[in-house]
Amino acid sequence: MIHKPVLLNEILETLNPQPGQLFIDGTANGGGHTFAILERIKPNGRILAIDKDRDLIEKLQADGVVSVCGSYRDIKKIADDHGFHQVSGILLDLGYSSHHLEQSGRGFSFQKDEPLIMRYETESDLGTGLTAKDAVNQFSESDLADIFYRYGEERFSRRIAKAIYLARKKRKIERACRYCRVRLS
């Protein structure tokens, strides 16, 4: 298990998993909730573990766990495809895990020098999807500022967008790195 879930006891108390039941963990991540629920639904219960991160989902192999690389937005289809028609509970633990910030190598944090991807999909799964590198190098200054303000509630969004715009004129921004600072003056 990679992820140590917060509020695990409260989740178990609320869901109250019992032997033989079916559950869905729509954001399985490193399996913290998945395996805790599995322990309570053994020996006949099963849990469907869904996550977009293939690296993590491949590590969730155990009797009673059906692991699927996918998105919780497709939960109905995934559940139907794997025989999870009537379940006792569904869990969605939304947000980032320490794994993605500290170990994924995908640029979720500026604490390490990593490719500026900022997506759950592994590099081989990216296909033609947009990455953070694409956004900071291609979006207009105004669009970047709007994104930072709207989604990050960043009050200095215009200054940050301008600094990124000026920095990328000198060289393409490709890495998340605490040493690769852009001056906001």
pLDDT in tens, 86-107: 999 999 987 666 555 565 555 5
Does residue 2 lie in a domain region?
Answer: no
Instruction: Check whether 110 has a pLDDT greater than 80.
Output: no
Instruction: Check whether 63 has a pLDDT greater than 90.
Output: yes
Report the sign of the C-alpha dihedral through residues 135, 140, 94, 153, in that order: positive
Last residue of a domain, one of 98, 126, 150: 98
Verify that 71 and 44 share a domain, yes or no: yes
Verify that 86 and 118 share a domain, yes or no: no
**Over residues 19-47, mean pLDDT:** 95
Verify that 14 and 93 share a domain, yes or no: yes
94-108, 120-134, 169-183, range with greatest mean pLDDT: 169-183
| Number of domains the chain is built from | 2
Comparing CA positions, the residue from 4, 46, 39 lying closest to residue 21 is 46
**Over residues 62-80, mean pLDDT:** 95
Q: Is the pTM of this model over 0.75?
A: no
**Over residues 7-13, mean pLDDT:** 94
Q: Which domain holds residue 66?
A: 8-98
Give Rg (Cα) of the chain.
20
Verify that 126 and 170 share a domain, yes or no: yes
Percentage of the chain lying above the pLDDT 70 cut: 78
